[in-house]
Structure 1
Amino acid sequence: MWFLRTVFGNEVLPVIPGRGVYLRVPQMQDYPAWRDLREESRSFLTPWEPVWPADDLTRTAFRHRLRRYARDMMSDEAYPLFIFHERDHVLLGGLTLSNVRRGVCQAASLGYWMGEPYAGKGYMRAAVSAVLPVAYEALRLRRIEAACMTNNLASIHLLERLGFVREGYARQYLCINGNWEDHFLFARLATDPLPDLAGPPSGRARQSQPAQ
């Protein structure tokens, strides 16, 4: 698949450029920035994510996370990416295409998180817009799905602005912060027009499905 050749090598990983941001596969060198941003944003993120393990922010846990990421990419099951600011290379958040299904389906699920200091500035909108052509053209996906809690108005607004269509309502869909939560289900197709980035930021996007 696309950028998998360099996951275990020393080459520079391919970068997905976006408007004011870029995305790339997480590396061990990202650990301090990831740990600090997640810790700083803990109270902002935990209402929208599964319960964090006690050792979640440790270096060992991050190393295990990277190993899982590599396995998922090599098996074409998921594609995790970190989002960075284009100008100063600061880590902003993360985005994952997970639960990849092939055969007659050709679909994946979109999940994302944004650090609290960078929410509401349009970065997630730019990141998702940048990854959509990669998902459709390089990964040959036809359908990208996303789910968000029914009270997550920021993510609902973000997905709608990105051309996702609300297709359903799933009761007790995911266990979030220790509670089974209902979710709205969204999807967009490869044949749908790509989003126009013109206009103001899309709101304080927090989380759409767990994507740590």
Structure 2
Amino acid sequence: MKLVGEHIYLRLYDDSDAKDLADLHKRNREFFLRVSPLHDESFYTQEHQALRIEQALKKAKEGQTYAFGIFLKETDELIGDITLAQILRGNFESCYTGFALDQKHNGRGYTTEALKLIVKFAFEELKLHRIEAHAMPENLGSIRVLEKAGFKKEGIARKNVKINGKWEDHQIMAIINEGV
């Protein structure tokens, strides 16, 4: 599955992406650490990323999670990832999204483009009603990306996620599919 934008495209990961995904996380380890949970050393290996991809593909087949790589159209370089996770059906028809972009590609609109593509997929293809995202209040870059894609602030989840070893508050943001 491939979702194509102006500068980037999203593609579900496959086995061949494990090395590039491990390299992305190694290269951005310190950068991602400020907004991510702590990972043990195995997380940064090709083997661990291959296992994560295998699990994500299984969950995609079950309609529970869609883990996409963000690739530059011009070079096919993997520059980030974006996920729809914890998909709930029935009376919820909702999910969470999260994203990360290689530090050297920040500020070029790629994450906003990726988020708009994944929202369109979630609403038009999956027929979801709501997508929720959380960002630390001081993570202004991610909050701006979410706002540009149409997400609205809903409140603060206090001490919501353990980031870099410390419980952190998160700004709850969501976008609603008014057509469902």
TM-score range, shorter chain: over 0.9
- Total equivalences in the alignment: 179
Aligned amino acid, residue 22 of structure 1: Y
Q: For residue 202 of structure 1, what is the aligned residue in structure 2? A: none
How far off its partner does 1:44 sit? 0.7
CA distance, structure 1, for counterparts of residue 66 and residue 94 of structure 2: 13
Asked if the contact 1:18/1:129 (under 8 Å) is kept, the reply is: no
In the alignment, which residue of structure 1 is the partner of 2:15?
A: 28
Matched, 1:172 2:172: no
Answering whether residue 134 of structure 2 is matched by residue 141 of structure 1, we say no
Pair 1:63 & 2:50 matched:
yes
Higher share in helix: 2
2:104 paired residue number: 117
State the superposition RMSD in angstroms.
1.2
Measure how far apart 1:93 and its partner are: 0.1
* One-letter amino acid matched to 1:38: H
TM-score, with normalisation over the residues of structure 1?
0.81
Match of 2:91 in 1: 104
- In structure 1, stretches of 5+ residues that fail to align are 1-13, 193-212
Q: CA deviation at 1:31?
A: 2.2
Pick 1 or 2: higher relative contact order, CA cutoff 8 A, min separation 6: 1
Percent of aligned positions with the same letter in both sequences?
A: 31
Could you tell me whether the CA contact under 8 Å between 2:18 and 2:47 is conserved in 1?
no
Trace 1:155-194 onto structure 2 (pairs within 5 A). Answer: 155-191=142-178
Shift of 1:71: 2.4
Q: CA deviation at 1:118?
A: 0.8
More strand by share: 2
Contact 1:22 1:84 in 2 (8 A): yes
Secondary structure at the aligned position of 1:30 is classed as helix
Q: Secondary structure at the match of 2:34?
A: helix
Amino acid at match of 1:112: F
Larger mean Cα displacement after TM superposition, 35-44 or 175-184: 35-44
Structure 1 runs, 4 residues or longer, greater than 4 Å off: none
What is the aligned partner in structure 1 of residue 59 from structure 2? 72
- Which residue of 1 is the match for residue 115 of structure 2? 128
* 2:42 match: secondary structure: coil
